[in-house]
Amino acid sequence: MVFTEQFLFFIWQFRLFDFKGLSCVGGELLEVVSPGLLNQNAGPDFSKAKLLIDGTLWVGNVEIHLRSSDWYLHHHQKDAAFESVILHVVYEHDREICRKDGSLIPVLVLKERFPAGLLARYQLLLNEKQAFPCANQLQIVDPIIVESTLSRLIAERFEDKSNEILDRLDLLKGNWDETFYFFIARAFGFNVNAQPFEMLATSLPQQIMAKHKNSQFQIEALTFGQSGLLRSDFTDTYPRALFAEYTFLRKKYRLQEINAEAWKFMRMRPQNFPTIRLAQFASLMASSSHLFSTILELEELPDVCRLFENLPVNPYWKQHYHFNKATKQVSLQLGRSSIHGIVINTICQLLFSYGRYTGNAMLSDRAFSFLTSLAPEHNTIIAQYVRSGLKPENAMMSQAILQLNKYYCNQKKCLNCGVGVKILNR
């Protein structure tokens, strides 16, 4: 026996077991009118199940285990929520289970009641050594099933991201400008340095930056000073001037810079170094007025992208990747793929969340429209699915694939995936 309770959930939920002569361990005749609703939270596994037990209709909860004794292993006898269980569904029955009043809970044993081939296909998915469980079987699934699964996952991804944004909004006491500032800062970290950019935004509130909008140099001093990357022993004029200005501003606002060791430089292309990204971020903050409000008003994708183009980055970085270390010509502007990445992973998510928060469906629809207008992302994860025949048409679909990979394929939750369910039921 190599499977989990989730496999039994699947068997029960979709009624994939033999109904002939169905009876409980105690001999009671059983008819499953409705298996109930799968519970994603604490408590019994299924709620609102409808069962005929010896001709009497019961409505209540169903609990599922591999073995009956798991009831005590999971300490359900101490939880009042499990007193309402009307049926205990198990693979093997090895112990009677009683309610607190001494009455026995009816037990249904599923062993040998479902097709052996179903279990074999499930085990094949679990043991698959390819990049994801159905990598070798994906092409046999009806494209309509794949498309509907991805459509559900993009909605799920937006909900997950929106909840994260709204949690940050709550932490910032409903301040959308600060919330936007936090997430746009994280976007400039491009995954590898997302965390130190978050730390920077948290330690340097947007309202302080806003007070110095008229001085790009002061914005740069605040940004690099808070990054922890400025030092007093630099010999170049520009970083020495930044350090002097930051020393004054640090005292004025009682700031505490983050640990410079948080920034990652290793195994990165120089144009992606955090120093260059910090310079670009500072330039955006200095050159953009009311950026979030502006983005909310823009209806066309090219107009949004232009906000991140031709940033007036300080000329010092034309010949530097690090402070105090000159190099050959450096590209100071965000590339098209980087801008698209910011729009896909940050701007669209913020538009959707703000639209959801304010009840403005047009903003949420605009977020989806932008995604369908953008080319799909290209990375090692997406490439795995492309090799198996799943080629996303746009960024909407590539985002859905990323959701599929992270929350289903990597965790081998094939039983919760429309594609996995189709493969198992073929």
Q: What is the pLDDT of residues 195-245, one digit of tens each?
A: 999 999 999 999 999 999 999 999 999 999 999 999 889 999 999 999 999
If phi > 0 it is left, if psi is from -120 to 50 it is alpha, else beta; for residue 217 that is alpha
- CA–CA distance, 296 with 191 (Å, rounded to integer): 25
Query: Residue 409 carries which DSSP code?
Result: I
Residue 352 has pLDDT above 80, yes or no: yes
Residue 143 has pLDDT above 70, yes or no: yes
In 3D space, the residue among 172, 183, 150, 195 whose CA is nearest the CA of residue 352 turns out to be 183
**Burial 150-165, CB ≥16 within 10 A → b, else e:** beebbeebbeebbeeb
Helices 380-387 & 395-404, crossing angle to 10 degrees? Answer: 90
Query: Residue 104 carries which DSSP code?
Result: B
pTM of the predicted protein model: 0.83
- Place 327 in a pLDDT band, splitting at 50, 70 and 90: confident
pLDDT tens string 56-106 = 999 999 999 999 999 999 999 999 999 999 999 999 999 999 998 889 999
- What does the pLDDT average to over 391-408? 96
- pLDDT value for 125: 87
Residues facing 104 on adjacent strands: 98
Q: Helix or strand or coil: residue 215?
A: coil
Residue 67's H or E segment, with its range, is strand 56-67
- What does the pLDDT average to over 257-280? 93
390-to-4, 130, 194, 278 alpha-carbon distances in Å: 28, 15, 29, 36
- Please state the separation of Cα 260 from the chain's center in Å: 27
In 3D space, the residue among 52, 424, 354 whose CA is nearest the CA of residue 177 turns out to be 354
- Place 119 in a pLDDT band, splitting at 50, 70 and 90: confident
Query: Residue 261 carries which DSSP code?
Result: G
Residues counted in the chain: 426
- pLDDT value for 345: 96
Residue 54 has pLDDT above 80, yes or no: yes
Phi first, then psi, for residue 37 (nearest 5°) are -110, 130
Averaged pLDDT of the chain: 93
Query: Residue 44 carries which DSSP code?
Result: -
- Please state the separation of Cα 124 from the chain's center in Å: 27
Query: Residue 414 carries which DSSP code?
Result: G
- Place 271 in a pLDDT band, splitting at 50, 70 and 90: confident
The pLDDT > 70 percentage for the chain reads 100
Q: For strand 37-38 and strand 46-53, is the pairing parallel, antiparallel, or unpaired?
A: antiparallel
- pLDDT value for 324: 84
- What does the pLDDT average to over 9-14? 91
Q: Which two tokens stand for residue 233?
A: 């022993």
- CA–CA distance, 101 with 375 (Å, rounded to integer): 62
Residue type, 59: V
Could you tell me where the DSSP H helices lie in 113-142?
116-126
- Place 256 in a pLDDT band, splitting at 50, 70 and 90: very high
- pLDDT value for 386: 96
- Place 1 in a pLDDT band, splitting at 50, 70 and 90: low
Q: Pick 101 or 253 by higher pLDDT.
A: 253
- Place 2 in a pLDDT band, splitting at 50, 70 and 90: low
- pLDDT value for 394: 97
| HSE-CB for 80 with a 13 A CA cutoff | 0
Q: Pick 292 or 41 by higher pLDDT.
A: 292
